Amino acid sequence: MKPTIYDVAKEANVSIATVSKVLNNTGRISEKTKSKILQIMKELEYQPSSVATALTGKKTFTIGVLVPDIANPFFAEVARALENNAREMGYSIILCSTDYQLEREHDYLELLIKKQVDGIIIATEPKDLKKLRSLNDRNVPSVLFSIDHLAIDSHVVTTDDLKGGYLAGRYLIEKGHRDFVIITEPQRASGVLRVEGFKKALVDEGVDLEGVLVIEAKSKINEARKAANQILRLPKRPSAVFASTDLIAAIFINEVRKAGVSVPQDISIIGFDNTIHAEISDPGLTTIAQPIAKLASYTIEQLLDAIENPSIPPNRIMLAPTLIERESVRDLNK
């Protein structure tokens, strides 16, 4: 069996309290006793049970991460970055894919509470608002990652989507484009903001919004294909397309090529997220990069702050996205 603190204590001829003290580096113990105990721990391969520790009111050093779908490259990167930062701080992560379903979100939240996680990171568009709000009453600190929802009184760490859209719009205009189509995910707050920012850029540069078509497509292969083909069939083909995710953009490039239309010669495209799709697509996809690593480190920082001090008021941190220039946008000025 796994050795317990009693085994160590007995072996060392001391009380368990003494052993506990060397575990936590508290109280007074002579160097001699201490090293003896440490020695014995090694011999027995003793590992304190974090379950028992947690029961005494200490932390579980576990945080829950809610994502919609870990198989989506963006969220996979997010999970990776969060895990990395958490690990460095001594925390581990319980992974929860909600699959965009209210029920799963609900169940997972209950589960995380039951498991006494120290905090929860929500990277999925929240559906179960009631449950989420109840997190506060239950003193479970939470951080919204890359999403924002005024109805929830948590910390927020997100990309400035509005600005991201704006960057994309301004860039295309600088490159001489004037006719646009937007492909965006329906019912996603960040998608809405991206489009809004994009349009704002057009307005600021004096482009008429009337002619701008907005097509809705989820960030899934078949929907993205459909959207791409819809654009190809348009009577007046736009000179540039703004896709609200890289997956949509990458598929657009492929569909368009199949139709004998060339990117960026015949049509330009700009994506969002800077996932691996953007990097390996051909031509390389110009896109708006979310600063995932930074978002993750701020998120963990905020969460740990909130864990240490539950009463601090929720901050809303917005990090600037950056434009990554590759080869999918043609410069019409040249």
Partner DNA sequence: CAGGTAAGGTTAAGCGCTTAACTTCACCGA
Partner DNA sequence: TCGGTGAAGTTAAGCGCTTAACCTTACCTG
Contacting residues toward a second copy, per CB under 8 A = 1-2, 45, 47-52, 54-55, 60, 62, 69-73, 76-77, 79-80, 83-84, 87, 92-97, 104, 110-111, 113-116, 134, 138-139, 221, 247, 250-251, 253-254, 257-258, 276-277, 279-282
Stretch that binds DNA, among 45-53, 172-180, 208-216, 298-306 (CB under 7 A): 45-53
| Contact call for residue 35 and DNA (CB under 7 A) | no
As a whole number of angstroms, the distance between CA 279 and CA 219 comes to 17
Torsion, CA 173, CA 177, CA 181, CA 184, rounded to 10? -30
Nearest 10 degrees: Cα torsion 101, 278, 276, 89: -80
Q: Which of residues 46-85 bind DNA (CB under 7 A)?
A: 48-49, 52-53, 55-58
The DSSP code for 60 is -
Residue 204 interacting partner from a second copy, DNA, none (CB closer than 5 to 8 Å by kind): none
The beta strands (E) that lie in 169-245 are given as 180-184, 213-216, 240-243
Give, as ranges, the residues between 89 and 128 that touch DNA (CB under 7 A).
none
Cβ-based nearer residue to DNA, 57 or 235: 57
User: Residue 199: CB partners within 8 Å, gap ≥ 6?
Assistant: 165, 169, 209, 212
CA 109 to chain centre: 17
Binding partner of residue 24 among a second copy, DNA, none, CB under 5 to 8 Å per kind? DNA
Terminal CA-CA length for the chain: 74
Interacting partner of 150 out of DNA, a second copy, none (Cβ under 5 to 8 A depending on kind)? none
Given the rule CB under 7 A, which residues bind DNA? 2, 4-6, 13-18, 20-21, 23-24, 26-30, 32-34, 48-49, 52-53, 55-58
